[in-house]
Amino acid sequence: MKKVTALTSAVLLGLSLSGAAFAQDTIALAVSTLDNPFFVTLKDGAQQKADELGYQLVVLDSQNDPAKELANVEDLTVRGAKVLLINPTDSEAVGNAVAIANRNNIPVITLDRGAAKGNVVSHIASDNIAGGKMAGDFIAQKLGNGAKVIQLEGIAGTSAARERGEGFKQAIETHKFNVLASQPADFDRTKGLNVTENLLASKAEVQAIFAQNDEMALGALRAVNAANKKVLIVGFDGTDDGIKAVKSGKLAATIAQQPNLIGSLGVMTADKILKGEKVEAKIPVDLKVISE
């Protein structure tokens, strides 16, 4: 009986130690939504790098809900995460989640979208302003100055939507575009389809559509095809579906990010923080125009 008790104690001790090691080596990733292929690729990049460096990566889906995001971060602090990687649902609302991490002395790294409040050690993202202008410049290259355009906006309150819109605004002013409409479709393919259908009914003269992500661009493409119109469509992100649509001649272009690299850099930056190394406050990830 004593041998059995000793063995049981040893097993429990081993489990306790492995649990402590798990906590020590855990990096958390809170993603705005895993319904979007872009963020799935970002998560995959983070997972691949975590596996390579020997970290446990705990991934939670915020489902585009700031309340869910907050609950996720509270859960991650209980799990003993040592660094929080977060792709915010909303740049303002995420401040509450960042504050929780700050209070628990968990370093925060934002991915793709920034946080308007709280202490963030590093922000890893593409230059969305430059990307928005690249999209407008491409339209001007194809259609010339004064083109009649529609913009499909992302989720209001996200830094990505705000910055891509700012970059496109610069192109509008430079190329004197006639903006027929600029409406949110929340980075969602179905909403991109529905909003575009409604706009085409009253803006039949549109020549080009800039969608602030590929999902909305692909939704807009369906609406344009259903209406039997010829409209130049430019997306943003460089997702697999977006690039396939470009290569098949359906989308004119996509401003390609590297979500895999954003996720990978997130884990690499977390690794440096845990080793006590200095990290940059802003880490840019290159963009490029992908066209036929």
Closest C-alpha among 104, 60, 74, 79 to residue 20: 79
Helix ranges (DSSP H) in 29-91 = 37-53, 66-79
Question: CA-CA distance, 191 to 189, in Å (whole number)?
Answer: 5
- Which residue ranges in the chain fall short of pLDDT 70? 1-24
- Based on DSSP, count helices (H) and strands (E) in the chain, helices before strands: 10, 12
Nearest 5°: the CA angle 236, 239, 241 is 110
Length of the chain in residues, anyone?
292
* 237's tokens: 């992100």
The answer to whether the CB of 259 falls within 8 A of the CB of 29 is no
3-state secondary structure of 282: strand
Q: What is the pLDDT of residue 180?
A: 98
**48-57 per-position pLDDT tens digit:** 999 999 999 9
Could you list the beta-strand ranges (E) of 185-242.
208-211, 232-237
Q: What is the pLDDT of residue 78?
A: 86
Question: CA-CA distance, 188 to 273, in Å (whole number)?
Answer: 34
Q: What is the pLDDT of residue 2?
A: 40
Q: What is the pLDDT of residue 6?
A: 40
* 268's tokens: 């690499």
Residues whose CB falls within 8 Å of the CB of residue 122, separated by 6 or more in sequence, listed in order: 109, 110, 269, 273, 279, 280, 281, 282, 283
Which domains are delineated in the chain? 26-124+260-283 (3.40.50.2300), 128-256 (3.40.50.2300)
Q: What is the pLDDT of residue 4?
A: 41
The answer to whether the CB of 22 falls within 8 A of the CB of 81 is no
**What pTM, to 2 d.p., does this model score?**
0.76
Backbone angles phi, psi at 150, to 5 degrees: -125, 140
Closest C-alpha among 82, 83, 85, 90 to residue 115: 90
3-state secondary structure of 251: coil
* 100's tokens: 């929780």
- The 208-211 sheet, strands edge to edge: 178-184, 148-153, 208-211, 232-237, 253-256, 288-291
